[in-house]
Amino acid sequence: MAAATDDLNGGNRFGLATALLTPILLVNAIVFVVPIVNLLRISFNEALPGGGIGPAFTWENWIKLIEDSFYLEILLRSVGMSALITFLTLLCSYPIALYLHRASGAWRTFLFVLVIAPLLTSAVVRTYGWIAMLADNGLINNALSWFGAPTPFRLVFNMTGIIIGLTEILMPYMILALLAGFGRLDPRCEEAALTLGAKPLQTFWRIVIPLTAPGIALGCFFCFVLCVSSFITPRILGGGRVFLLATEIYDQAIVTLNWPGAATLSILVLVVFGAALVLYTRALRRLD
C-alpha cells in the first residue's frame, strides 16, 4: 500500500481524497443531511393550506401533537402493536434460529436460503399473499367453511391482518439477528447440563435462554424499530381503517398536504427509535 501511493505526498493525497469523495459527499448532502435538518426545522413552521409552509417559527405543531388525544392514541396503538408483533415474531423465529444454529452442511445452507428468500421478494407481494390467505374468499376462510365453520371470519383489513402479516414479514430479520447473537451457545454447555441430570426443559430455561439473550435483545430491537416505521403492510392489510404513526405521516404528507404536521410526526417516530435504542443498550448492559 505504501508503495502504491508513495509518490502521493501529503498535499496531493489530501487533494485526491477530496476529489474522490466529492460525489458521495454531494449526494449525501442532497438526499440525507439537508433533508433531515430541514425536516426538523419545518416541524416548527406553520402549515398553510395546499402544502404551503409559513416562514415564522412556531410551537403550534408540537402543542397540537400533545393536546390532540388522536395523536396520543395513534402513538400508543403503534407502540403497543409493535411490541405485540415483536413478541410474536420472537416466538415464531426462535425455534427456526435454534434449529439452524444446530444444523450443519448442505441442509443448513438450504434452510438458510429459505429464510432469506422472502427478503428478496417485495413487501407488496408478500402483503398481497396474505390477502389471498386471509380474505373472506381466501384460503383460510375457505378451508374453515369446508370443515363446516360459520365463515367468513374477518381476518384482514383490520388489526388482526396487520399483526399476522407483519409477524411473518419481520421473521427473516429476527432470525438473522438471533443467529448473529447465538455465538455463545455452545452445544457442550447443554450436554454438560443434561449429563449433570437437568431435564431438557430445565436446560432450555436455565442454559439456552440466558446464553442466547444478547441475540434475543438485538432481534427484538430490530423488529420493534422496523415495525413502528413500516408502512406498506399496515396500510394494505389495515384497509385504511387502522390509524398508525407511519400511515398518518403518509396521509398528512400526500393526502392533506400538511407537511409541517407530517414532519412533526416523523420526529416523533425518531424519538420512539431513540427510546428503543436506550432500552436495548440498557438490556445489553444488564446481560453482561
Partner 1 sequence: MEENRTGWPLKIAVAILFIFLLVPVLVVIPLSFSGENTLKFPPTSWSFRWYISIFERERMINGFRVSVVIGLLVTSATLLIALPAAYVIVRLRTWGSEFLYNLFTAPLLLPTIVLGLAILIIFASVGLLGTFTGIALGHLVLTLPYALRIVATSLAGLPIIVEEAAATLGARPFTVFRRITLPMMAPGLLSAAALSFLVSFDEIVITLFLAGPRVSTLPVEMFRHLDTRADPLIAAIAVLMISLTLTVVLIVHRSVGLSKGFLR
Nearer to partner 1, 174 or 217 (CB): 174
Nearer to partner 1, 182 or 286 (CB): 182
Nearer to partner 1, 195 or 286 (CB): 195
Q: In the bound complex, what is the minimum distance in angstroms from residue 248's beta carbon to partner 1?
A: 10
Nearest CA to 135 among 165, 115, 112? 165
55 binds partner 1 (CB under 8 A): no
**Helices and strands of the chain, counted as H and E runs:** 14, 2
122 binds partner 1 (CB under 8 A): yes
**E-strand spans in the chain?**
45-48, 52-57
Cell of 100: 439452524
152 binds partner 1 (CB under 8 A): no
Contact 63, 44 (CB under 8 A): no
# residues contacting partner 1 (CB under 8 A): 91
Q: Which residues are CB-contacts of 213 (< 8 A; sequence separation ≥ 6)? A: 287
How far the first Cα of the chain sits from its last, in Å, is: 39
7 binds partner 1 (CB under 8 A): yes
From candidates 62, 243, 273, 280, binder to partner 1 by CB under 8 A: 273
202 binds partner 1 (CB under 8 A): no
Residue burial 234-271, b: 16+ Cβ < 10 Å; e: rest: bbbbbeeebbbbbbbbebbbeeeebbbbbbbbbbbbee
From candidates 66, 72, 76, 124, binder to partner 1 by CB under 8 A: 124
Site string for partner 1, 19-38 (x = CB under 8 A): -xx-xx--xx-xxx-xxx-x
Nearer to partner 1, 117 or 287 (CB): 117
48 binds partner 1 (CB under 8 A): no
Stretch that binds partner 1, among 57-65, 88-96, 177-185, 213-221 (CB under 8 A): 88-96
270 binds partner 1 (CB under 8 A): yes
Identify residue 150 by its one-letter amino acid code. Answer: P
Identify residue 248 by its one-letter amino acid code. Answer: E
182 binds partner 1 (CB under 8 A): no
From candidates 87, 118, 151, 280, binder to partner 1 by CB under 8 A: 118
CA distance 18 to 167: 45
Contact 64, 270 (CB under 8 A): no
Question: What is 95-115 written as a DSSP string?
Answer: HHHHHHHH--HHHHHHHHHHH
From candidates 44, 46, 64, 138, binder to partner 1 by CB under 8 A: 138
Nearer to partner 1, 150 or 187 (CB): 187
106 binds partner 1 (CB under 8 A): no
Nearer to partner 1, 201 or 288 (CB): 201
